[in-house]
Amino acid sequence: RAWAINEIDRRRRQQAAAWPRSRKSTMLAIILALPALVVHHNDIAPSNALKLRGGVALDTKTLNTINGLYHVGFGAALYADPNAFADSGASPIKYTADAEGPVGAFTSRAFGAMMLALSSAAYFDPESTGVLKAFAIAEALFTPILVKNIQDGEPAFKKKMWIFQSFVHIPLAALMLFKAFK
């Protein structure tokens, strides 16, 4: 058992040497870059009834912006540090145990890269219904994985955090599917 723990520690040190030295500085850089995001004013005026309720218009541009922000946060963090949301990660939000070895690091970074790519589509073409449909499909495909993570629970997955995430992700996925394919 001690050998296995030493082997895991050795692998983590190798991973850390291959990427930025300080996870805290990486997370700080990501947080400081987020205010640079420019959200364009929506030219479509909400109806008077919508204004009275204090609501917002859920047009394609608004939904793409919401999803772009949702995906860029997770994507940038995982791309920079495959254990960003794991036990040893700099984020206070913990979803999983640490990624195991180079395959785990690759998988987390690849997932982060795909989330970044998807979020960039909303930046480059904010009014695209194709981008809206891509977000809807991606979120729908991730939903059964999220449910499985809740079912599997500890020690690999932090069940309470995944339950909390489901309260954000599942309604957003349902809204996206409804709006994209109405």
Degrees to nearest 5, angle at CA 15 with 14 and 20: 115
Per residue in 86-141, pLDDT tens?
A: 888 888 778 888 888 889 889 999 999 999 999 999 999 999 999 999 999 999 99
- What's the pTM value of the predicted model, to 2 decimals? 0.68
Q: Give the mean model confidence (pLDDT) for residues 9-18.
A: 64
